[in-house]
Amino acid sequence: MALRPVDNETFYREVDEELRRDRMLSLWQRYGKLVIAGIILFLVLLGAGIWWHGHRQETAGAHGEQLLSAFDDIGVGKKAAAKTKLEALSTDSAPGYRAAALFTKADLSIEGNDLKGAAALFHQAAGDTSLPQPYRDLATIRATALDMDTLKPQAVIDRLKPLAVAGSPFFGSAGEMVAISYMKLNKPQEAGRLFAAIAKDRKVPESIRARAGQMAGSLGVDAVQDVPGGSQEGK
């Protein structure tokens, strides 16, 4: 008995579906383990990423609490306890906490009149290439301020001249020390010009600008800030 066309279509469809199942089974047998391994690897990496992010936040929170605890100890006079906590943080992998710990330890050394120890800590921070450059520059400024009496004037100039330029966030402090070093080298013109530039820079703290203006004047260099439009105070 001949099959009706509809039966033939049903037959062909069943055969096609069977072939598809066979191909899928063959592919699964061949690549199924790799697919499972890939899924597992993806889940492991995802889980590791989530754990690492949480771990970093947890670690940062713990270090922040430790730093605040050290500050609290300093506030109530428990400097020995504070130094112990700061010592642990000064070797921490997080640059911000490490820099804060080194600077605070140095300040405690200054309070204890241990200027060499403070300078050594600032030099440690300045030489730490993993710290952001502003931290290192500030450490260089503070170390040099402590070393001024023992360094040769040219050494101070060589160390700070890159920072003693207009536009540098440390122009005032670095420029002042460089200008003083010029005076020690009997170079009043260079010193006067630098003092005047500092005095005229409104981004420099007022206390440094005032000192620089006085020094520039004593060296015969005009350090009066130019007034826009040619007007003058008291006119």
- How does pLDDT run across 93-141, given as a tens digit for each residue? 578 788 888 888 898 898 889 999 999 999 999 999 988 899 899 999 9
Q: Answer yes or no: do 129 and 159 share one domain.
A: no
Q: Answer yes or no: do 126 and 162 share one domain.
A: no
pLDDT at 232: 42
The reply to whether 46 falls in a domain is: yes
pLDDT band of residue 145 (cuts 50, 70, 90) is very high
Q: Pick the last residue of a domain from 72, 101, 136.
A: 136
Q: How many domains does the chain have?
A: 2
Q: Answer yes or no: do 122 and 39 share one domain.
A: yes
DSSP H helices in the chain: 5-75, 79-89, 95-111, 115-126, 133-147, 153-160, 171-184, 188-200, 206-218
Q: Work out the mean pLDDT of the chain and round it to a whole number.
A: 77
Q: Answer yes or no: do 46 and 131 share one domain.
A: yes
Min mean pLDDT across 17-21, 49-53, 96-100 is at 49-53
d(CA 215, CA 199): 9
Q: Answer yes or no: do 132 and 42 share one domain.
A: yes
Q: Answer yes or no: do 107 and 156 share one domain.
A: no
The reply to whether 202 falls in a domain is: yes
Q: Answer yes or no: do 50 and 128 share one domain.
A: yes
The reply to whether 123 falls in a domain is: yes
Q: Answer yes or no: do 93 and 160 share one domain.
A: no
pLDDT band of residue 40 (cuts 50, 70, 90) is very low
pLDDT band of residue 4 (cuts 50, 70, 90) is very low
pLDDT at 209: 94
Q: Pick the last residue of a domain from 136, 164, 182.
A: 136
Query: Does residue 48 or residue 133 have the better pLDDT?
Result: 133
Q: Answer yes or no: do 123 and 158 share one domain.
A: no
Owning domain of residue 116: 32-136
Model pLDDT for residues 60-95, shown as the tens digit of each residue? 457 677 777 877 877 888 888 888 888 878 776 578
Q: Answer yes or no: do 132 and 207 share one domain.
A: no
In terms of Cα–Cα distance, which of 122, 120, 121 is closest to 142? 122
CATH for 181: 1.25.40
Model pLDDT for residues 157-180, shown as the tens digit of each residue? 999 999 999 999 999 999 999 999
The reply to whether 26 falls in a domain is: no
The length of the chain in residues reads 235
pLDDT band of residue 199 (cuts 50, 70, 90) is very high
Q: Pick the last residue of a domain from 136, 159, 176.
A: 136
The reply to whether 9 falls in a domain is: no
Q: Answer yes or no: do 125 and 165 share one domain.
A: no
pTM of the predicted model over 0.75: no
The reply to whether 17 falls in a domain is: no
pLDDT at 179: 96
pLDDT at 24: 52
The reply to whether 143 falls in a domain is: no
d(CA 80, CA 47): 41
Q: Answer yes or no: do 132 and 182 share one domain.
A: no
- The token duo for 156 is 């101070």
